[in-house]
Amino acid sequence: MKLKTALKYSDVTSEHTYMNRRALLAGMVGAGVLGATGARAQDKPEFKINGFDTTETPNTFEEITTYNNFYEFGTDKGDPAKYASALTTDPWSVEIDGLVERPGSYGLGDILSKMDIDERIYRFRCVEAWSMVIPWNGFELRQLLQLAGIQSKAKYVRFETLYRPEEMRGQQRPLLDWPYVEGLRLDEAMHPLTLMATGLYGKELPNQNGAPLRLVVPWKYGFKSIKSVVKITLTDKQPVNTWKAINHREYGFYSNVNPEVSHPRWTQSSERRIGGGVFAKRIETVKFNGYEEQVADLYKGMDLTVQY
Protein backbone atom coordinates (compact mmCIF):
# COMPACT_ATOMS: atom_id res chain seq x y z
CA MET A 1 0.00 0.00 0.00
CA LYS A 2 1.18 3.51 -0.75
CA LEU A 3 0.61 6.16 1.91
CA LYS A 4 -0.99 9.26 0.40
CA THR A 5 -0.26 11.69 3.24
CA ALA A 6 1.96 11.93 6.30
CA LEU A 7 1.04 9.78 9.29
CA LYS A 8 -1.35 11.52 11.71
CA TYR A 9 -1.28 11.54 15.49
CA SER A 10 -4.82 10.16 15.48
CA ASP A 11 -3.70 6.93 13.79
CA VAL A 12 -2.46 5.48 17.07
CA THR A 13 -3.55 6.77 20.46
CA SER A 14 -0.91 5.27 22.76
CA GLU A 15 2.02 2.91 23.02
CA HIS A 16 -0.33 0.30 24.50
CA THR A 17 -2.75 0.55 21.57
CA TYR A 18 0.12 0.50 19.08
CA MET A 19 1.77 -2.60 20.47
CA ASN A 20 -1.54 -4.43 20.93
CA ARG A 21 -2.59 -3.69 17.36
CA ARG A 22 0.81 -4.77 16.11
CA ALA A 23 0.64 -8.07 17.99
CA LEU A 24 -2.88 -8.67 16.68
CA LEU A 25 -1.85 -8.03 13.09
CA ALA A 26 1.18 -10.29 13.46
CA GLY A 27 -1.15 -13.07 14.57
CA MET A 28 -3.54 -12.37 11.70
CA VAL A 29 -0.71 -12.55 9.17
CA GLY A 30 0.45 -15.81 10.71
CA ALA A 31 -3.07 -17.18 10.41
CA GLY A 32 -3.42 -15.91 6.84
CA VAL A 33 -6.58 -13.92 7.57
CA LEU A 34 -5.48 -10.31 6.99
CA GLY A 35 -7.57 -9.20 4.04
CA ALA A 36 -8.02 -5.95 2.14
CA THR A 37 -10.29 -4.46 4.78
CA GLY A 38 -9.96 -2.37 7.91
CA ALA A 39 -6.85 -0.20 7.67
CA ARG A 40 -6.71 -0.44 3.88
CA ALA A 41 -10.35 0.40 3.43
CA GLN A 42 -9.87 3.55 5.51
CA ASP A 43 -6.57 4.46 3.82
CA LYS A 44 -4.70 4.06 7.11
CA PRO A 45 -1.03 3.04 7.33
CA GLU A 46 -0.54 -0.64 6.68
CA PHE A 47 1.28 -2.48 9.47
CA LYS A 48 3.81 -4.71 7.77
CA ILE A 49 5.25 -7.61 9.72
CA ASN A 50 8.92 -8.01 8.87
CA GLY A 51 12.08 -9.73 9.98
CA PHE A 52 13.97 -6.57 10.92
CA ASP A 53 12.53 -5.99 14.39
CA THR A 54 14.29 -6.47 17.69
CA THR A 55 12.32 -8.40 20.28
CA GLU A 56 13.34 -5.95 23.02
CA THR A 57 10.70 -3.80 24.67
CA PRO A 58 10.50 -0.32 23.11
CA ASN A 59 11.09 2.77 25.18
CA THR A 60 8.04 4.86 25.93
CA PHE A 61 6.98 7.71 23.67
CA GLU A 62 7.84 10.14 26.46
CA GLU A 63 11.35 8.77 26.88
CA ILE A 64 12.02 8.85 23.15
CA THR A 65 10.77 12.41 22.75
CA THR A 66 12.30 14.04 25.84
CA TYR A 67 15.86 12.68 25.81
CA ASN A 68 17.53 13.77 22.58
CA ASN A 69 20.69 15.04 20.97
CA PHE A 70 19.73 17.70 18.44
CA TYR A 71 22.27 20.50 18.79
CA GLU A 72 20.29 22.69 16.41
CA PHE A 73 18.06 23.34 19.44
CA GLY A 74 20.63 23.19 22.25
CA THR A 75 23.15 20.88 23.88
CA ASP A 76 21.11 19.65 26.86
CA LYS A 77 19.12 16.44 26.36
CA GLY A 78 15.87 18.26 27.19
CA ASP A 79 16.48 21.28 24.92
CA PRO A 80 15.04 19.76 21.72
CA ALA A 81 11.73 18.98 23.44
CA LYS A 82 11.62 22.53 24.85
CA TYR A 83 12.50 24.47 21.73
CA ALA A 84 11.86 22.36 18.61
CA SER A 85 8.21 23.44 18.41
CA ALA A 86 9.55 26.61 16.73
CA LEU A 87 10.47 24.58 13.64
CA THR A 88 8.14 24.82 10.64
CA THR A 89 7.93 21.43 8.90
CA ASP A 90 5.12 22.04 6.41
CA PRO A 91 5.73 22.59 3.56
CA TRP A 92 8.90 20.49 3.26
CA SER A 93 10.99 19.42 0.31
CA VAL A 94 14.22 17.52 -0.26
CA GLU A 95 16.71 18.56 -2.91
CA ILE A 96 18.31 15.53 -4.55
CA ASP A 97 21.30 16.24 -6.76
CA GLY A 98 24.71 15.04 -7.85
CA LEU A 99 25.08 11.73 -9.69
CA VAL A 100 21.38 11.11 -10.23
CA GLU A 101 19.26 10.84 -13.35
CA ARG A 102 16.42 13.01 -12.08
CA PRO A 103 17.82 15.81 -9.91
CA GLY A 104 15.42 18.31 -8.42
CA SER A 105 13.39 19.43 -5.44
CA TYR A 106 11.07 16.66 -4.27
CA GLY A 107 8.09 17.67 -2.15
CA LEU A 108 7.61 15.48 0.92
CA GLY A 109 3.98 14.76 0.09
CA ASP A 110 4.95 13.59 -3.38
CA ILE A 111 7.75 11.45 -1.96
CA LEU A 112 5.42 9.76 0.53
CA SER A 113 2.84 9.04 -2.16
CA LYS A 114 5.43 6.86 -3.90
CA MET A 115 6.97 5.13 -0.88
CA ASP A 116 6.04 1.95 1.00
CA ILE A 117 5.64 3.02 4.61
CA ASP A 118 6.88 0.31 6.95
CA GLU A 119 7.34 -0.01 10.69
CA ARG A 120 10.58 -1.10 12.30
CA ILE A 121 11.43 -1.59 15.96
CA TYR A 122 15.14 -0.81 16.02
CA ARG A 123 17.82 -0.59 18.66
CA PHE A 124 19.35 2.88 18.88
CA ARG A 125 22.86 3.28 20.29
CA CYS A 126 24.38 6.71 20.94
CA VAL A 127 28.14 7.21 20.78
CA GLU A 128 27.82 8.59 24.33
CA ALA A 129 27.08 4.99 25.49
CA TRP A 130 23.35 5.27 26.11
CA SER A 131 20.70 3.42 24.15
CA MET A 132 17.00 3.08 23.42
CA VAL A 133 14.63 0.81 21.50
CA ILE A 134 12.47 2.82 19.12
CA PRO A 135 9.46 1.86 16.96
CA TRP A 136 9.93 3.90 13.79
CA ASN A 137 7.64 4.38 10.80
CA GLY A 138 9.24 5.16 7.48
CA PHE A 139 10.48 3.88 4.14
CA GLU A 140 13.72 2.33 2.97
CA LEU A 141 16.16 4.97 1.74
CA ARG A 142 16.91 2.90 -1.35
CA GLN A 143 13.37 3.55 -2.60
CA LEU A 144 14.01 7.29 -2.63
CA LEU A 145 17.41 6.94 -4.28
CA GLN A 146 15.92 4.70 -6.95
CA LEU A 147 13.19 7.29 -7.51
CA ALA A 148 15.85 9.88 -8.29
CA GLY A 149 17.85 7.42 -10.40
CA ILE A 150 21.36 6.39 -9.35
CA GLN A 151 24.14 6.97 -11.86
CA SER A 152 26.83 4.32 -12.22
CA LYS A 153 29.62 6.56 -10.91
CA ALA A 154 27.89 7.18 -7.58
CA LYS A 155 29.71 5.69 -4.58
CA TYR A 156 28.53 7.75 -1.61
CA VAL A 157 25.47 9.58 -0.36
CA ARG A 158 25.78 12.95 1.40
CA PHE A 159 22.97 14.27 3.62
CA GLU A 160 22.36 17.78 4.88
CA THR A 161 20.14 19.10 7.68
CA LEU A 162 17.98 22.20 7.42
CA TYR A 163 19.73 25.49 8.20
CA ARG A 164 17.22 27.92 9.66
CA PRO A 165 18.71 29.73 12.67
CA GLU A 166 15.63 31.88 13.18
CA GLU A 167 13.77 28.69 14.14
CA MET A 168 16.65 26.44 15.23
CA ARG A 169 18.12 28.45 18.09
CA GLY A 170 21.22 26.29 18.45
CA GLN A 171 22.35 27.35 14.99
CA GLN A 172 22.72 30.90 16.28
CA ARG A 173 25.88 29.73 18.08
CA PRO A 174 29.00 28.32 16.37
CA LEU A 175 28.76 24.99 18.19
CA LEU A 176 29.15 23.11 14.91
CA ASP A 177 29.87 24.07 11.33
CA TRP A 178 26.25 24.46 10.22
CA PRO A 179 24.43 22.96 8.43
CA TYR A 180 24.95 19.48 9.85
CA VAL A 181 26.29 16.98 7.30
CA GLU A 182 26.43 13.18 7.26
CA GLY A 183 27.29 10.52 4.74
CA LEU A 184 27.05 6.85 3.88
CA ARG A 185 28.71 4.59 1.38
CA LEU A 186 26.23 3.75 -1.37
CA ASP A 187 25.93 0.08 -0.40
CA GLU A 188 25.15 1.14 3.19
CA ALA A 189 22.51 3.55 1.94
CA MET A 190 20.95 0.85 -0.24
CA HIS A 191 20.80 -1.72 2.57
CA PRO A 192 17.18 -2.63 3.49
CA LEU A 193 17.83 -1.77 7.16
CA THR A 194 18.56 1.87 6.25
CA LEU A 195 15.38 3.82 6.88
CA MET A 196 14.09 7.32 6.25
CA ALA A 197 11.85 7.78 9.28
CA THR A 198 8.63 9.78 9.07
CA GLY A 199 7.15 8.83 12.43
CA LEU A 200 7.40 6.83 15.62
CA TYR A 201 4.76 4.81 17.47
CA GLY A 202 2.57 5.30 14.41
CA LYS A 203 2.48 9.06 14.98
CA GLU A 204 4.00 11.90 13.02
CA LEU A 205 7.68 12.32 13.79
CA PRO A 206 8.04 14.95 16.55
CA ASN A 207 10.22 17.93 15.76
CA GLN A 208 12.74 17.04 18.46
CA ASN A 209 13.26 13.63 16.85
CA GLY A 210 14.09 15.07 13.43
CA ALA A 211 10.76 15.92 11.79
CA PRO A 212 9.57 15.55 9.23
CA LEU A 213 12.21 13.26 7.70
CA ARG A 214 15.32 11.73 9.26
CA LEU A 215 17.78 8.98 8.50
CA VAL A 216 17.95 5.88 10.71
CA VAL A 217 20.94 3.54 10.38
CA PRO A 218 20.54 1.13 13.31
CA TRP A 219 23.99 -0.52 13.24
CA LYS A 220 25.80 2.83 13.50
CA TYR A 221 26.15 5.32 16.34
CA GLY A 222 23.21 7.68 16.55
CA PHE A 223 24.92 10.80 15.21
CA LYS A 224 25.01 9.13 11.78
CA SER A 225 21.19 9.20 11.72
CA ILE A 226 20.92 12.80 10.56
CA LYS A 227 17.72 14.70 11.34
CA SER A 228 15.43 17.09 9.41
CA VAL A 229 16.99 16.25 6.05
CA VAL A 230 16.63 18.81 3.25
CA LYS A 231 19.34 17.73 0.81
CA ILE A 232 20.69 14.44 -0.50
CA THR A 233 23.66 14.34 -2.87
CA LEU A 234 25.03 11.30 -4.65
CA THR A 235 28.75 11.62 -5.24
CA ASP A 236 31.87 9.67 -6.15
CA LYS A 237 33.81 11.16 -3.22
CA GLN A 238 33.51 10.32 0.48
CA PRO A 239 31.69 13.18 2.24
CA VAL A 240 33.27 14.83 5.27
CA ASN A 241 30.67 14.39 7.99
CA THR A 242 30.31 17.10 10.62
CA TRP A 243 31.68 15.29 13.67
CA LYS A 244 34.63 13.83 11.78
CA ALA A 245 35.47 17.34 10.57
CA ILE A 246 35.43 18.61 14.15
CA ASN A 247 37.48 15.79 15.67
CA HIS A 248 38.62 13.00 13.37
CA ARG A 249 40.32 11.14 16.25
CA GLU A 250 37.04 10.64 18.09
CA TYR A 251 34.50 10.36 15.26
CA GLY A 252 35.06 8.43 12.05
CA PHE A 253 33.15 8.26 8.81
CA TYR A 254 31.80 4.74 9.35
CA SER A 255 31.02 4.95 13.08
CA ASN A 256 29.74 1.39 13.31
CA VAL A 257 28.75 0.32 16.82
CA ASN A 258 31.77 -1.65 18.00
CA PRO A 259 32.40 -2.67 21.62
CA GLU A 260 35.96 -3.62 20.65
CA VAL A 261 36.91 -0.04 19.75
CA SER A 262 36.70 2.42 22.62
CA HIS A 263 36.04 6.11 22.22
CA PRO A 264 39.25 7.96 23.25
CA ARG A 265 37.43 9.19 26.38
CA TRP A 266 35.25 6.21 27.35
CA THR A 267 34.66 2.54 26.72
CA GLN A 268 32.10 1.37 24.17
CA SER A 269 31.87 -2.14 25.63
CA SER A 270 28.66 -1.35 27.55
CA GLU A 271 25.75 1.06 27.47
CA ARG A 272 23.05 2.55 29.69
CA ARG A 273 19.52 1.86 28.52
CA ILE A 274 17.40 4.98 28.92
CA GLY A 275 14.40 4.36 31.18
CA GLY A 276 16.28 2.35 33.75
CA GLY A 277 17.15 5.31 35.94
CA VAL A 278 20.45 7.05 36.58
CA PHE A 279 21.89 4.04 38.38
CA ALA A 280 20.50 1.45 36.00
CA LYS A 281 22.70 -1.57 35.42
CA ARG A 282 24.73 -1.18 32.25
CA ILE A 283 24.19 -3.76 29.55
CA GLU A 284 26.74 -5.25 27.20
CA THR A 285 27.09 -3.60 23.81
CA VAL A 286 27.09 -5.98 20.85
CA LYS A 287 28.88 -5.49 17.56
CA PHE A 288 26.96 -3.58 14.91
CA ASN A 289 24.35 -2.97 17.63
CA GLY A 290 22.97 -6.47 17.16
CA TYR A 291 22.73 -6.32 13.36
CA GLU A 292 25.99 -8.12 12.59
CA GLU A 293 24.31 -10.95 10.70
CA GLN A 294 22.69 -8.48 8.31
CA VAL A 295 25.53 -5.99 7.74
CA ALA A 296 28.93 -7.57 8.52
CA ASP A 297 29.48 -8.49 4.86
CA LEU A 298 29.51 -4.77 3.99
CA TYR A 299 32.84 -4.47 5.80
CA LYS A 300 34.54 -7.71 4.81
CA GLY A 301 38.28 -7.22 4.59
CA MET A 302 38.23 -3.85 6.39
CA ASP A 303 40.13 -3.10 9.59
CA LEU A 304 37.38 -1.56 11.71
CA THR A 305 39.90 -0.34 14.27
CA VAL A 306 41.35 1.90 11.58
CA GLN A 307 38.29 2.55 9.44
CA TYR A 308 36.08 3.35 12.41
Closest to 213 in 3D by CA, of 114, 54, 297, 90: 90
Phi and psi at 103, nearest 5°, equal -70, 155
User: What percent of the chain clears pLDDT 70, i.e. is strictly above it?
Assistant: 83
Cα separation, 252 vs 256, whole angstroms? 9
The response to whether 83 counts as a known ligand-binding position is no
Asked if 225 and 216 count as a contact pair (C-beta separation under 8 A), the reply is yes
pLDDT tens-digit profile of 90-137?
999 999 999 999 999 999 999 999 999 999 999 999 999 999 999 999
What pTM does this model have?
0.87
Cα separation, 119 vs 124, whole angstroms? 15
More confident residue, 285 or 19: 285
The response to whether 126 counts as a known ligand-binding position is yes
The response to whether 142 counts as a known ligand-binding position is no
The response to whether 209 counts as a known ligand-binding position is yes
In this structure, the chain runs to a length of 308
pLDDT tens-digit profile of 32-87?
433 332 333 333 334 444 678 999 999 999 999 999 999 999 999 999 999 999 99
Cα separation, 67 vs 208, whole angstroms? 9
The response to whether 68 counts as a known ligand-binding position is yes
The response to whether 161 counts as a known ligand-binding position is yes
Asked if 127 and 222 count as a contact pair (C-beta separation under 8 A), the reply is yes
9-299 homologous superfamily: Oxidoreductase, molybdopterin-binding domain (3.90.420.10)
The response to whether 226 counts as a known ligand-binding position is yes
In one-letter notation, the amino acid at residue 221 is Y
The response to whether 20 counts as a known ligand-binding position is no
